[in-house]
Structure 1
Amino acid sequence: MVSYVIRRTLIMVPTLIFISMLVFAIIELPPGDYFESYVQELRVLGESADLQEIEELKARYGFDNPLPIRYLHWAWGLLQGDFGYSFDYRMPVNDVVGDRLYLTIIVSFFTIIFTWIVAFPIGLYSATHQYSWGDYGLTFLGLLGIAIPQFMLAIIMMYFANIWFGTSIGSLMDAEFVGEPMSWPKFWSVVEHMWIPVVIIGTGGTAAMIRRLRANLLDELRKQYVVTARAKGLSPRRVVWKYPLRMALNFFIADIGSLLPAIISGAEITAIVLSLETTGPMLIRALQAQDMYLAGSFLMFLAFLTVIGVLISDIALGILDPRIRLDGGSRK
Structure 2
Amino acid sequence: MVRFLFVRLLQSVITLLGVTFLSFLIIKMAPGDYLDQLRLNPQISPETIELLKKQYGLDKPLSVQYLKWLKSAITFDLGYSFQYHAPVLELIKERIGNTLLLTLSSAIISWFFALTLGFLAGFREGTWIDRLIKAYAYTFMSFPSFFLAFILLLIVSKTGILPVGGMHSAGFERMSLSERTLDLLKHMVVPVLTLSLVSTASMVRLVRSSVIEVLSSPMVLFLKAKGLPKKVMIKHVFKNVMNPFTTLIGYEIAGLLSGAALIEIIVGWPGLGTLMLDAVLSQDLFLVMGGLYIGTIMLLLGNLIADILLAVLDPRIRERELISK
**TM-score (ref. length: structure 2):** 0.87
Closer, same or farther: CA 217–109 of 1 in aligned 2, 3 Å: same
Q: How many residues align?
A: 320
Offset, 1:10? 4.2
Which of 224, 242, 246 is matched with 1:230 structurally?
224
In structure 2, what is the equivalent of residue 85 of structure 1? Answer: 80
* Aligned partners of 2:165 and 2:269 also within 8 Å: yes
Query: Residue type of the partner of 2:187?
Result: H
Closer, same or farther: CA 255–48 of 1 in aligned 2, 3 Å: farther
Q: Matched residues in 1 for 2:225 and 2:162: separation?
A: 58
* Aligned partners of 2:261 and 2:273 also within 8 Å: yes
* Structure 1: gaps (5+ residues): none
Which of 273, 298, 308 is matched with 1:315 structurally?
308
Kindly report the root-mean-square deviation, in angstroms, between the aligned alpha carbons of the 2 structures. 2.7
Partner of 2:323, secondary structure, is coil
Query: Residue type of the partner of 2:208?
Result: R
Closer, same or farther: CA 20–160 of 1 in aligned 2, 3 Å: closer
* Aligned partners of 1:267 and 1:280 also within 8 Å: yes
Matches within 5 A, 1:49-60: 50-52=44-46, 53-60=48-55
Matches within 5 A, 1:321-332: 321-326=314-319, 328-329=322-323
In structure 2, what is the equivalent of residue 120 of structure 1? Answer: 115
Q: Matched residues in 1 for 2:267 and 2:90: separation?
A: 23
1:272 and 2:256 correspond: no
Q: Matched residues in 2 for 1:167 and 1:8: separation?
A: 44
Offset, 1:296? 1.0
Query: Residue type of the partner of 1:284?
Result: L
Query: Residue type of the partner of 1:24?
Result: F
Q: Matched residues in 2 for 1:266 and 1:285: separation?
A: 17
Partner of 1:28, secondary structure, is helix
Q: Matched residues in 2 for 1:315 and 1:305: separation?
A: 15
Offset, 1:199? 0.9
Which deviates more from structure 2 when the two are superposed, residues 309-318 or residues 134-143?
309-318
In structure 2, what is the equivalent of residue 198 of structure 1? Answer: 192
**TM-score (ref. length: structure 1):** 0.85
* Structure 2: gaps (5+ residues): none
Partner of 1:162, secondary structure, is helix
Q: Matched residues in 2 for 1:214 and 1:288: separation?
A: 43
In structure 2, what is the equivalent of residue 151 of structure 1? Answer: 146
Q: Matched residues in 2 for 1:225 and 1:285: separation?
A: 56
Matches within 5 A, 1:225-264: 225-242=219-236, 244-261=237-254
Partner of 2:318, secondary structure, is coil
* Aligned partners of 1:142 and 1:211 also within 8 Å: yes
Offset, 1:184? 8.5
Closer, same or farther: CA 50–221 of 1 in aligned 2, 3 Å: same
